């Protein structure tokens, strides 16, 4: 049997976890077309996945034809609907990297129900007053003079672009989104910003002619769909870097507790500068499309790598895509998305990485999948605390 290379292994993992690009699928099709590789493919899937892989069932067509057809079907689906959730119920396919076989084991542990977070989304106004935004309600946002400057409908806050400021000074509002929630805001220039759980975002209620459109991601994660305005560059500041654009789509993850800031470019062009640095088109660091800029806060070093965009923006639709992600990072992502906390007494897990995809699962379903894949037990306390044991 043909030995499997790490690159090919990665292609198979990405294909089965529905995170492969069209280019990945083309490479996999060519590889599977070889008879020896076909045997390797089937054996690898059988040995490494705790699932019943339907394409392995015998029928009138050859195995190779069936497998190639399934991969091509996935490529067609990818082009038809790249960024939408595909299944009403996602089968979370997990790969425990470095382990030859999954050990399936059932655990019957009585868990407490997860309590929906009572924390509210808040809006701090220019005068320091704080308002509560009810995701199921609607409200008006007014300035200190009683003028309506924006309206909230459900999980969307929209600022009026015709609002006149009292003077030529910038006035700010600050949105804070707690764990377990997401929120959207449309700025006065039409820029649409998606805010992930655990995010605090500060922005002008109206941009001023002649000045850059500068906003501040205090902490958290945000996806920006920026309205193009060549005369007024849009600058997203987070920590001690600035991401400068004219009109584009990009994602920033910049949580205070994390050691790095990740910026992923979806469309257009962005330049990355250290805060206080003067922009220079000829010398600035430009991020290519479908690449990620990783800024190390401590070492103040910037590294640019190619990346899978969908992995970084799936959160907008409430999905979670993990490609070879350390278990500690997974716990932090789950804490934010589901408003839970973890106590990990199984230290072996800290050195392991996972590949997984979750669409609409609740935290109990996610933990069941993880525990069966990694062979650990867990329990949920009545204060939304999840305790993991060997």
What does the alpha-carbon distance between residue 43 and residue 35 come to, in Å, rounded to a whole number? 13
- Name the more confident of 276 and 376: 376
Per-residue pLDDT reduced to its tens digit, 319-354: 888 888 999 999 999 999 999 999 999 999 988 888
Is 87 domain-assigned? no
Whether residues 295 and 274 share a domain: the answer is yes
Is 181 domain-assigned? yes
Whether residues 98 and 132 share a domain: the answer is no
Whether residues 219 and 248 share a domain: the answer is yes
Per-residue pLDDT reduced to its tens digit, 182-238: 999 999 999 999 999 999 999 999 999 899 999 999 999 999 999 999 999 999 999
Give the count of beta carbons closer than 10 Å to the beta carbon of residue 344: 17
pTM for this structure? 0.72
> How much is the pLDDT for 19?
75
Show the tokens assigned to 186.
Answer: 């449309």
Could you tell me the CATH number of the domain that includes residue 304? 2.60.120.1440
Provide the pLDDT confidence category of residue 66 given band limits of 50, 70 and 90.
low
Could you tell me the CATH number of the domain that includes residue 370? 3.55.50.30
Contacts of 291 (CB under 8 A, 6+ apart): 264, 265, 304, 305, 306, 307
Identify any residues that bridge with 124 across adjacent strands, giving them in sequence order: 130, 174
Whether residues 289 and 205 share a domain: the answer is yes
Whether residues 99 and 63 share a domain: the answer is no
Supply the DSSP symbol for 211.
Answer: S
In terms of Cα–Cα distance, which of 32, 30, 50, 28 is closest to 42? Answer: 32
Whether residues 156 and 48 share a domain: the answer is no
Is 1 domain-assigned? no
DSSP secondary structure string for all residues of 246-279 = SS-EEEEEE-TTSSEEEEEEEES-EEEEETTPPP
Residue where a domain terminates, one of 60, 82, 104: 82
Whether residues 163 and 222 share a domain: the answer is yes
Instruction: Kindly state the average pLDDT of the residues 290-311.
Output: 93
Residue 120 near residue 133, CB atoms below 8 Å: yes
Whether residues 242 and 343 share a domain: the answer is no
In terms of Cα–Cα distance, which of 298, 291, 253, 238 is closest to 269? Answer: 291
Domain that holds residue 238: 121-311
Residue with tokens 């292994």, as numbered in its chain: 9
Residue where a domain terminates, one of 293, 311, 329: 311
CA distances, 303 to each of 67, 286, 292, 297 (Å): 38, 12, 8, 12
What does the alpha-carbon distance between residue 252 and residue 124 come to, in Å, rounded to a whole number? 22
Whether residues 48 and 178 share a domain: the answer is no
Whether residues 293 and 147 share a domain: the answer is yes
In terms of Cα–Cα distance, which of 390, 389, 342, 385 is closest to 112? Answer: 385
The C-alpha R_g of the chain, in whole angstroms, comes to 23
Whether residues 146 and 286 share a domain: the answer is yes
Number of domains forming the structure of the chain: 3
Per-residue pLDDT reduced to its tens digit, 265-286: 999 999 999 888 888 877 788 9
What does the alpha-carbon distance between residue 97 and residue 92 come to, in Å, rounded to a whole number? 15
Whether residues 282 and 136 share a domain: the answer is yes
């Amino acid at each position: 049997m043909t030995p499997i290379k790490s690159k090919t292994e990665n292609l198979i993992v990405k294909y089965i976890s529905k995170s492969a690009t069209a280019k990945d699928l083309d490479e996999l099709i060519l590889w599977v077309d070889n008879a020896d590789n076909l045997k390797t493919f089937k054996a690898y899937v059988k040995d490494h996945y705790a699932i019943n892989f339907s394409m392995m069932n015998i029928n009138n067509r050859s195995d190779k034809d069936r497998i190639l057809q399934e991969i091509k079907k996935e490529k067609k689906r990818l082009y038809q609907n790249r960024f939408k959730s595909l299944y009403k119920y996602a089968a979370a396919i997990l790969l425990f990297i470095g382990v030859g076989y999954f050990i399936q084991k059932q655990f019957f542990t009585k868990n407490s129900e997860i309590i929906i977070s009572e924390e509210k989304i808040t809006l701090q106004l220019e005068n320091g007053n704080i308002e509560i935004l009810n995701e199921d309600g609607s409200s008006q946002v007014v300035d200190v003079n009683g003028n309506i400057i924006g309206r909230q409908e459900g999980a969307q806050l929209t600022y009026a672009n015709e609002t006149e400021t009292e003077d030529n000074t910038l006035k700010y509002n600050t949105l804070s989104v707690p764990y377990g929630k997401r929120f959207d805001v449309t700025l006065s220039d039409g820029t649409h910003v998606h805010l992930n759980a655990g995010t605090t975002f500060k922005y002008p209620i109206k941009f001023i002619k002649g000045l850059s459109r500068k906003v501040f991601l205090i902490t958290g994660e945000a996806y920006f769909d920026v309205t193009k305005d060549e005369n007024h560059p849009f600058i997203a500041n987070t920590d001690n870097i600035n991401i400068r654009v004219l009109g584009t789509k990009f994602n920033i993850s910049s949580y205070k507790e994390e050691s790095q800031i990740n910026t992923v470019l979806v469309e257009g062009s962005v330049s990355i500068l250290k805060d206080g640095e003067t922009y220079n088109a000829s010398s600035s660091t430009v991020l290519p499309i479908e690449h990620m800029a990783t800024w190390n806060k401590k070492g103040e070093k910037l590294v640019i790598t190619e990346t899978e965009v969908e992995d970084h923006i799936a959160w907008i639709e409430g999905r979670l895509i993990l490609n070879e992600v350390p278990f500690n990072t997974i716990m932090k992502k789950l804490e934010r998305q589901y408003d839970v906390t973890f106590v990990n007494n199984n230290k072996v897990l800290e050195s392991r990485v996972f590949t997984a995809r979750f669409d609409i699962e609740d935290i109990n379903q996610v933990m069941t999948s993880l525990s069966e894949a990694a062979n650990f037990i867990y329990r949920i306390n009545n204060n939304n605390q999840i305790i993991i044991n060997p």
